[in-house]
Amino acid sequence: MDERIVPASEIEVLKSEGVEAFRRGDYQSAEDAFQRALAHFEHAGDTAGRAEMQVNLGVLAIQRGDYVGAERLLLEALEAFRRLGRRSEEAQVLGNLGSMYERRGQAGRASKYYRQAAAIFEELGERENARVTLAALTRLQVTHHRWLESLFTYERMLAAGQRLTFKQRIFRWLFRIMSRLMRV
């Protein structure tokens, strides 16, 4: 391997190539680009960059059905982001772990990770990320016939959103009435 420190611009090109290849469904090219970027981050001692590439490789592993590899990569990235105090990235990894466990058929673990991710996004004021995560949690709850939980999560998701559609406003109004009736 080349022993020189690679300029950040070259690493950005590798990351972009990997993302574009992933979007095209060319997982091998994506993996190659992410692995090369990872090697450069490791050589430079860049913990955040290394963790970012581990997340990319973890998501790629999920797409390929390699859940053991994905879990290892995502948990390592999660620990790195926690050590660095990078809460937004931590929440993103938690959401990816939720997605992975959902695909593995482990609804309880998926729910746990989605909840943690949503709470961090809400705490940080990242409304769109919170909304997307809560939507995934709602879908999981509906799929597993957790009807009442899904209603509360859906209402929380609506609260996190920017603008509500007419149907969503009606649902929210009906939900609030139902909630009040349940307290009586």
Q: What is the pLDDT of residues 86-108, one digit of tens each?
A: 999 999 999 999 999 999 999 99
- 21 plus 9 within the same structural domain: yes
Q: For residue 104, what is the DSSP state?
A: T
In this prediction, what percent of the chain has a pLDDT beyond 90?
A: 69
Q: Structure pTM?
A: 0.83
Question: Could you tell me the pLDDT band of residue 32, with boundaries at 50, 70 and 90?
Answer: very high
Residues 6+ apart with CB under 8 A from 148: none
The pLDDT tens digits of the residues spanning 75-86 come to: 999 999 999 999
- 116 plus 45 within the same structural domain: no
- 92 plus 148 within the same structural domain: yes
Does pLDDT of 175 surpass 90? Answer: no
- 37 plus 110 within the same structural domain: no
Residues 6+ apart with CB under 8 A from 164: 158, 172
The pLDDT tens digits of the residues spanning 56-79 come to: 999 999 999 999 999 999 999 999
Q: Report the CATH number at residue 1.
A: 1.25.40.10
Give the total number of structural domains in the chain: 2
What's the pLDDT at 167?
77
What's the pLDDT at 144?
87
Burial code (b: 16+ CB inside 10 Å, e: under 16) for 140-176 equals bbeeeebeebbbebbbbbbebbeeeeeeeeebeeeee
What's the pLDDT at 161?
66
Give the number of C-alpha atoms closer than 13 A to the C-alpha of residue 180, restricted to the C-beta side: 6
- 65 plus 1 within the same structural domain: yes
Q: What is the mean pLDDT of the chain?
A: 89
Instruction: Quote the tokens at residue 157.
Output: 């998701």
Q: Which of 85, 102, 122 is the last residue of a domain?
A: 85
Q: What is the span of the domain harbouring residue 51? A: 1-85
Does pLDDT of 166 surpass 80? Answer: no
In this prediction, what percent of the chain has a pLDDT beyond 70?
A: 89
Question: Could you tell me the pLDDT band of residue 152, with boundaries at 50, 70 and 90?
Answer: confident
Report the pLDDT averaged over residues 123-137: 93
Residues 6+ apart with CB under 8 A from 20: none
- 24 plus 80 within the same structural domain: yes
